[in-house]
Amino acid sequence: MKRGILVASFLVLMLMTAPAGAFSADNLLIAVDEDGSADVTFNYTLSWIERIAVFLKIAEPEQELKSALEMATGSPVTVTSVEGDSARFSVLNFARIESTDNETIYSTPGLDFTGAQEVLDRYWFAALVEADFSPDLTVVRFPDGHEETFANQSAIPALSYTITIQ
């Protein structure tokens, strides 16, 4: 009995003195297709606390990201794959397309990552986690290969890009 109390006390002490975990958004790639749909790849780093929560299915970051993309775009989003540190999505009608005889204009929605903290705060481990939801690098790639890049931005503006048809 005394041994059990000692072990429990030791575990509580370890948790109290353990450094806070961190979630960081590493890279976000949005590849816009000719039809306006997009393939989105999000790479992130999870803390040990979050890895445990994900393992126990208490938190599912891919579902939170799916919901955020659906809210931002107003379009259906499908989770196409999930690994330990990344998630891939397919977004229908991500970009609005306007075509004329000699050009196609792709307009993408703005994305704001600042609401992600509110989502995190709903979980029991939120107080133990320091989170950075601004991707280190965000790339929006258009069908012709043109890229717009953003570094450490908490919001990505709406973009408009024109491809001239030869």
Lowest mean pLDDT among 4-13, 96-105, 113-122: 4-13
pLDDT of residue 72: 77
Q: Please check whether residue 132 is in contact with residue 23, taking contact to mean a CB–CB distance below 8 angstroms.
A: yes
Model confidence, pTM: 0.75
pLDDT of 163 higher than 50: yes
148 exposed, middle or buried (CB, 10 Å; 0-12, 13-18, 19+)? middle
Q: Is residue 7 part of a domain?
A: no
- Supply φ then ψ for residue 67, to 5 degrees: -60, -40
Q: Is residue 126 part of a domain?
A: yes
Q: Is residue 70 part of a domain?
A: yes
Q: Is residue 10 part of a domain?
A: no
pLDDT of residue 97: 96
Q: Which is it for the CA torsion 60, 62, 64, 70, positive or negative? A: negative
Q: Is residue 49 part of a domain?
A: yes
Lowest mean pLDDT among 32-46, 65-79, 122-136, 150-164: 122-136
Pick the residue with more confidence: 123 or 48?
Answer: 123
Model confidence band, residue 91 (pLDDT cutoffs 50, 70, 90) = very high
* CA separation for the pair 50, 23 (Å, rounded): 8
pLDDT of residue 32: 98
Torsion of CA 131, 94, 70, 119, to 10 degrees: 10
Rounded to an integer, the average pLDDT of 135-151 is 96
Q: Is residue 123 part of a domain?
A: yes
Q: Is residue 6 part of a domain?
A: no
Q: How many domains does the chain have?
A: 1
Range of the domain at 110: 22-164
Q: Is residue 15 part of a domain?
A: no
Model confidence band, residue 116 (pLDDT cutoffs 50, 70, 90) = low
